[in-house]
Amino acid sequence: MAVQEKTSAEDATEVEITLDNGSPYPHPYQYQRIGSDGPLLLQDTHLLELFGAFDRERIPERVVHARGAGAHGYFEVTNAEFCKNYTMIDMLSEDGLKTPITIRFSTVGGESGSADEARDPRGFAVKFRTRKGILDLVMNNTPVFFIRDPAKFPHFIHTQKRHPASHVRDKDMFWDYLGSNPESLYQVMRLFSDRRPGPASGGMGAEDVIRRGCGSNKTRVILLEVACDLLCLPT
């Protein structure tokens, strides 16, 4: 349901109540029932919309990367001739061309309100609003990950979160999964190393200005008839 006004100076008598699809409705508190004291009718579209919006107005936090911070800015090309040797992308075609961007830094396993200093991989995502459309780069601060099989991802994330019964982190659940999936060991060694974010990224946080970004997805850079696949995009 929405309230529509022709202008901000309209009298209250000119306010029109509508449903979500824009059709007018006589009164925001009006509902349909059988008789004056009968049951409510399921055909009452307005009432269904009202309670449907009420049930869904709480948006749950992200399953992963819930704890984060972002910033808006722009990406400026300073050497278009160099870029043209590798790609024909419009975003890098002109010196001085500025592309609006949004960057978000995050931890992976922490929920909203968790510590920034947690020993956890760091997420690093960039959205470029180019003249040709949106370009998203989704990255972590390590060049490897715990798993390769996507079917293992939900089970892995469950072990990194709080236990559903106790609502505390369960170290046995955490290490049981990692010990049962030895492909995780390379990432585990990086996570629990003393390496700082930068050229060699470990699990402890530091200033975001030295954050390394490694592509979670393969990126194809195209130059006319030649294509090159990039696995890691260093910052």
Sign of CA dihedral 192, 116, 209, 88: positive
Catalytic residue list contains 140: yes
| 62 contact partners, CB below 8 Å, separation of at least 6 | none
Query: Which one of 65, 72, 163, 217 is the catalytic residue?
Result: 65
Query: Which one of 140, 141, 158, 181 is the catalytic residue?
Result: 140
Directed axis angle between helix 171-180 and helix 153-160, to 10°?
Answer: 150
Catalytic residue list contains 163: no
Question: Catalytic residues, which ones?
Answer: 65, 140
